[in-house]
Amino acid sequence: MKKKLTALFAAALLSASAGVFATGIGPQLNFDPVAAPRFTPPAWGLACSAKFDDIPLYFAGTFNIIAPYTYVKSDGTPVATARLGLQLTADYWFMNPEIIGLWHWFWGLGGAVRTDFSVDGKNFYFSTGPRAVAGMNWFFADGFLELYVQQAIQPELQFAFGEDGKASGLFGVPVYFPSSVGLRFWF
C-alpha cells in the first residue's frame, strides 16, 4: 500500500511541477534515408531527445544501424556487413508558433556528429555537418507530454577509414534526410 501511495504522490508532484521547470526528455524513433555517391540503405535508429532549462537547443543522442551494408575492398571483392553508429544532434528552433490549440509547428537549424563502424571491424566512419529541421508538436496533459514529428536535411562531410576508405576514397558527402517521431516528458 505504501508503494502505491508513494507512486501516486510522485506522479501528482511531477504533474504539478510540469509548468515550473522546462526540461524535456524522451524516446525517439529515427528513419534516415541517405543520398550518397553510391547506394547506401537507410539507417534505422533509437534516440533519446532532451531539452534543458538553460540551453536553447534540442538535443538527441541516437544509436543507428544500417543493414545490410555492402562495400567493395580494394581488390574488388564485395563485402556485406552491417554498420552501427552513434549520432549526436543539436537544433536551435527559430519558431514554434501555435497552429490550433495544442498543435504547434517548428523549424530551425543545427548540427550533427556521427561515428559508425562496420560489424566486421574493418571500417570506421566519422561524419559531421549542418542540418535544417522542421516539424510539428502536440502538447498533452497540461504540457507534461509532447508528441512530435520532424523532418531534417543533413549534408555531412564523411571520413572513411579502413578497407572501405582505401577502396572508395577517404572523403564522402552523404546527404541524410532523417525523419523522427518522439515523445518528450516535461519536468
**The dihedral sign for the CA sequence 50, 61, 133, 180:** negative
Q: Which three cell numbers stand for residue 163?
A: 578497407
The domain total for the chain is: 1
Residues of the domain holding 160: 2-186
45: domain CATH number is: 2.40.160.20
Q: Look up the pTM and report it.
A: 0.81
- pLDDT of 21 over the 60 cut: no
The answer to whether the bond into 27 is cis (omega within 30° of 0) is no
Least confident of 3-17, 24-38, 76-90, 147-161: 3-17
Q: Tell me, what's the pLDDT at 17?
A: 46
Q: Are 121 and 133 in contact (CB under 8 A)?
A: no
